[in-house]
Amino acid sequence: MASHIGDLVRDNIDRYGSAGIGGDSAGGQISLSVALSLRDSHGIVLPQTMLISPALDLTWSNPQIPRVQPTDPWLATPGGKVFAEYWRGDSDLLDPVVSPLFGDLAGLGPITLFSGTRDVLNPDAHLLVEKAADAGVELDFHEGVGQVHVFPLLPTRIGRDARAVIVSRIRSSLSA
C-alpha cells in the first residue's frame, strides 16, 4: 500500500512540482511510512506531512496505553492488535512500513501532528514528538486535551479550530 501511495505522491510532484501527504488513523500511519520511504528511496523530502491521530506503533507495546485505554470511547487495544496482524501481512511489526515510529526520522520535512488525550494512540504521539526533536525534524504538535481519536474531523468547535490549523499548515507548505 505505502509503495502505491508513494508512486501517487511522486506523480504529483512530477506534475505539479510539490506535494504533501496526510491522513488520519491508519492513514496517518501510511502517510508517515510514505514520507520515510520517499526520503529513503528517492531523496524526496515532503514540505508537509499531516498526521491526525496516527497509528504509529502497531506492536501496541507503549506502557502508557493502558493508562489511556479506560478513557477512550472509540479504540481498544484488542481490536488494534487484530488490525495490526491483518495489516502487517508478512512484514515484521517493527518494520517502519508497518510501525513508522521505528523509522529514522532524520531528514524528514515538517510534520504536523494532532492527537487527543482520550485516544489510545496518544502515548505513541508523544514518542513521535520526542523522536522528531532528537532527529532535528520540525514537528508542530496539537494535543487536544480531553479529545478523542480523529477529533479534528469531528463536527465540533474544537474540530473546526483544528481544521483551520490544518488548512493553514497546508497552505503555508505549498507557498514555501
Report residue 100 as a C-alpha cell: 513508522
Question: Closest Cα to residue 170, out of 162, 25, 79, 96?
Answer: 162
Domain boundaries, the chain: 20-175
Q: How confident is the model at residue 174 (pLDDT cuts 50, 70, 90)?
A: confident
Question: Closest Cα to residue 58, out of 122, 101, 19, 16?
Answer: 101
Cα–Cα distance, 112 to 120 (Å, whole number): 19
Question: Closest Cα to residue 92, out of 106, 108, 103?
Answer: 103
Domain spanning 20-175 has what CATH number? 3.40.50.1820
- Given a cut of 80, whether residue 175 has pLDDT beyond it is no
Q: Which letter does DSSP use for residue 24 in this model?
A: E
pTM of the model: 0.95
Q: Render pLDDT for 110-139 as a digit per residue (tens, 0 to 9).
A: 999 999 999 999 999 999 999 999 999 999
Q: What is the pLDDT of residue 2?
A: 61
